[in-house]
Amino acid sequence: MTAHQRLAQLLDQVAAGARVPYLGAGVAAALASGQPASPAALCAAIEARVTAPKRARGNLWAVAQFVESRRFRKTLDGLVQEAFAAAPPPGPLHRWLARVRPPLIVDAWYDSALLDAAAEMGEGGDRWGWVQGVSRNGAWEPIWTRAYDARGALVGDAPDPAWQTLIYKPHGLVRPGHSFLISDSDYVEVLTEIDIQSPIPAEVQARRTGRPFLFLGCRFDDQLLRLFARQIAKRSGPGHAAVIEAPLTRMEARFLDELDIERLDLPLSAVTDALATPA
């Protein structure tokens, strides 16, 4: 079986609800929208407006912490909202996922393209919702997440088990009125608890059970991103796969070995090509 044939098989499993798609920032990069589509790009956008100390430069989470500590959270939120001000239309992968409606989609970047694609659905388009990580900055509420229905209305801390499709945005959402994790202080409590799964919604845990993951647009060259992927995929089904074009960093190769992830050495554009090819 060729890599392209294997990719078609994996996408069929996603469409059948047997495999969980996990989208990284690379999916947003394919939109060529001008929005930041990697931690490095978002960090550069912030650093273009604020001079960060040398020890923090190039590290998104540390630069965000510097801005939050020296300029207050409102300034940081404003810079990030500004960086994501462009609102590109969803791409083919977003629209395909909205159409096939798998039980669970993990969207591990800050943009709203997948939510926009789901909102474009016609009949039955309201049988979905999303749950997102939230920052506790300036708040005393002992919560990890907020859940919203298809109309964007807050339904509480937990998603509705009756939803056909649940979109999980673990790092939050950059959209007015919403929250996101970005600074070191945002992540400190999450990272303390994530090994025992407390920050991961019970419905996400239920829907991942017995299902392997398909990682698309993900790079695992950042420790925090590896940690989140490891914990979100915990106690799921065996047989993970990832579309990641070579070369890999040493830590990426170790991570794929650790989670026994099958790698397809293909560009992300191969996914779009596969979706455009008649079955």
> Which of 167, 96, 178, 99 shows the shortest CA–CA distance to 129?
167
227 contacts 194 by C-beta, under 8 angstroms: yes
86 contacts 35 by C-beta, under 8 angstroms: yes
Q: What is the pLDDT of residues 148-182, one digit of tens each?
A: 999 999 999 999 999 999 999 999 999 999 999 99
> Which of 200, 203, 214 shows the shortest CA–CA distance to 15?
214
Strand partners, 104: 166
In the chain, what percentage of residues exceed pLDDT 90? Answer: 87
Report the range of poorest mean pLDDT among 4-13, 121-130, 241-250: 121-130
Please classify residue 85 by burial: count the beta carbons closer than 10 Å to its beta carbon, then call 0-12 exposed, 13-18 middle and 19+ buried: exposed
Q: What is the pLDDT of residues 79-115, one digit of tens each?
A: 999 999 988 899 999 999 999 999 999 999 999 999 9
* Helix/strand number for the chain, H first, E second: 12, 9
Return d(Cα 93, Cα 114) in angstroms, integer.
Answer: 9
Q: Where are the domains of the chain?
A: 3-35+84-276, 36-83
Q: Which residues contact 70 (CB under 8 A, 6 or more apart)?
A: none
Q: What is the pLDDT of residues 183-213, one digit of tens each?
A: 999 999 899 999 999 999 999 999 999 999 9
pLDDT at residue 138 in the model: 58
Q: Which residues contact 213 (CB under 8 A, 6 or more apart)?
A: 19, 20, 21, 22, 106, 233, 236, 240, 241
Looking at CATH, the fold of the domain delimited by 3-35+84-276 is given as Rossmann fold (3.40.50)
